[in-house]
Amino acid sequence: MAVASVARARARLPVRHTVVMAATAYAPLTLTVRRGDSVEWINKDPFPHTVTCAGVFDSQSIAEGARWTYRADRRGRFAYTCTFHPNMNGTLVVT
């Protein structure tokens, strides 16, 4: 009983992180999260963007003012891009 209580107390609740898309850039450029966390991208530009890591995640088009959330269930270092703006790049690190 006592051991189970300690384990529960040490369990970490998932965290929700935010990446802003503005001026055709992701901020922060690199975000490190723990597996199980969520990341929400918010588009503050007046045109659409995507959050795309081939074979891992793809938001499809995120309209002006819209948001997209990814639950980071897979560990690794994921370079992603916007399919509309190939020089718009970011990295999600899931530990």
Question: DSSP state, 28?
Answer: S
The residue count for binding Cu ion (CB under 5 A) is 5
Pairing state between β 76-82 and 25-27: unpaired
Handedness of CA 83, 22, 89, 80 (dihedral sign): negative
Chosen residue from 31, 33, 49, 78 binding Cu ion by CB under 5 A: 49
User: What is the spatial distance between Cα 95 and Cα 92, in angstroms, rounded to a whole number?
Assistant: 10
Does residue 85 interact with Cu ion by CB under 5 A? yes
The stretch near Cu ion (CB under 5 A) out of 8-16, 28-36, 46-54, 71-79 is: 46-54
Question: With respect to Cu ion, which residue has the nearer C-beta, 34 or 85?
Answer: 85
Does residue 82 interact with Cu ion by CB under 5 A? yes
